[in-house]
Structure 1
Amino acid sequence: MPQPLTHDGPVRWGILGAGAITASAGPDLRDTDDCAVHAVAARDLDRARRAADGLGAPAAYGSYAELVADPDVDVVYVATTHGQHLEHALLAIQAGKPVLVEKAFTLTAAQAQQVVHAAQDHDVFCMEAMWTRQHPLLLRAQALVADGAIGDVVGVRADLAMALPFDPAHRLFDLAAGGSALLDLGVYTAVYPWLFIGPPSGTSTTGRLSPTGSDSTAAMLWSYPGGQWAQLSCTVEGPSANEAVVLGTTGWLTFRGPLYRPPELVVHRGGPLEGTDEVLTAPLAGNGYGPQFAEVARCLRAGLAESPTVPLADTVGVMAVLDAARRDLGARFPADMR
């Protein structure tokens, strides 16, 4: 097991990447209790300095290797695009740094397993930045289901979409960059059945590919030995309700969109024409990333190798299901050929 982090100051973070994720999540990291942004790295030093200055970080680096070598960095946040996650996570882990790796964790389950094995070999903490799992309403919903609030769970529906004009250079359509609606959007929909039913015993997927061969629309059906089911969809070709529903034998839960950061959870007890609704809210500061950073800090203080709320087995398992979905659609990354 990793040694607990014991110094008196806040957990000092190094961020790999100075792009959109850092711009969105960085301020929340800066403002999270027991966390401080110590350094930002990018391939362009000026860009790294601008990001570091904006987050109040004292250090900026023009290479990722310099950041992971900084002895004052306690943990590395891999905030590059997911096509780079394998390389950058391994770089940090091999330098002995704990890592929080943006989702999608990697391009494939084989890559995910490679990162997990490296973290285990180097005895460092590792977690996927699936911030939705830390959302207070998701945690509350799991407790409600465990207490029988909606009876036995029989099914889950979840959809997430955005409308993007086709651009072969855009990262969502560029296979070399890991372009994939499943990896950008479908990974969020997978959270709901995985948490409320578990890993599926079978899957099938239909959808459509973009002109570059990336998956642009995917509709997944998950099946279970007990007859439960999940219907999940994602697309970059148009809008959707962007919400999730967990159906039980005596009621249901509706996570109003966007499902990656639901503003409301509606608990319906009773049948479709009767019963009562209870609307739960859990306002989050900033852009809503704070709980995941707080969880990493907690785990580092406790000397944990992984988070119990984002277990690495789940991360690898979801990647395997997304691998199967892409195979059904005929979407293949260069990494699939290796």
Structure 2
Amino acid sequence: MQSQAGDRGRPRLGATSVRGALRHATRWQRVEVDAFAMLAAGLAVALPVAVGMLLDRPAEGLVGALGALMISSSGNVGRLSDRGVELLLSGLVALAGVCVGKELGGRSVASSTAIVLVSIAAMALGSLRPAGAKTRIQFVVTMIVGSTLAAAPLATGLLAACFAAGAAFGGVLTLAAYGAGRLVLRLPRPDPARTPRPWRVDAATWRARMRTWAGWEYPVRMGACMAVAAVFVNVLPGSHSTWVLLTVVIVVQPDRRDALIRTISRGLGTVLGVAVGIVLLQSVPSWVVVAVVGVIAAVRGHLKVANYTAYSVVMTPLVLVLTSLGHGAPAEVLVERVVDTGLGCLISLVVGIGLWRVVADAHQRSRDEPGQ
């Protein structure tokens, strides 16, 4: 049973939670602006795109920008060495994800099944260490993004090289921004990170947890939602329905009470973001697109904390541009993104929250029965 303190401030499922989630979706939190970090994030994504256009290799430039984007939420806490280690780990995980996705990509039952099974395994293994909660989502997201690049005119080796180069470039800029901030603003030296528990302790705790339903609840719930999404990927017309899977991974949360907020924010933000994407991909000169991409990449980290709906608004056109591989997306494809996102949100609500609440209640009743 959750404590009252643990429930405080969280919306409850039901009619009132919808109103609460809507209020949360439009609520802004005050977040300190880090100008150096924002500048680094913008340059890390925009410069690879610009270089690719100048060299007439737009696909390589966009893949490099994706690499920088996928590690942009790492390396923001702790001392320089701690940030460097986190960036390296994040880059390796993202690189592995995009390469696995590139190899598994394609619209087929076998491909979708493999992606779902690998995702369940990643979710389960990700609970081995505290930092794994972040990296498991990162791996699955980059794997799905990589699967969308299966038909890209780039061999897996070249794609991996461009992605790794972009991630490395983004990591260097992130560390440089931290150093510049400390030098110019005279920020105090951060406290050293706590010594992590030994691997054997975490492994023993993980093994014990995975012998219980609680250890498998989130991986199986995510897998169930992804399996339903995979059905739609294979039956929907068009070739871009992997966004159903991507939406499910983003909005299905370990705590089901957080999922409703994320689902509503994601849905509202995507609808507005597609409108921006239509403008960027249809009628704007290339140099303006590069500038807008840089601005969006710069502010996305700030918006993710300040207001997730606004974050979704800017992330939608950003990912649309970076996954277009230099080819404009027709308006019907952009509308398809809205439909895919709506389906992903609906799956999250019906399977990830509603159906799973029935499963959880049934499991609790079986535990409460005498003699169990």
TM range (shorter): under 0.3
TM-score normalised by the chain length of structure 2: 0.22
TM-score, length-scaled by structure 1? 0.24
Compare the two structures and name the one with the higher helix fraction. Answer: 2
Larger Rg: 2
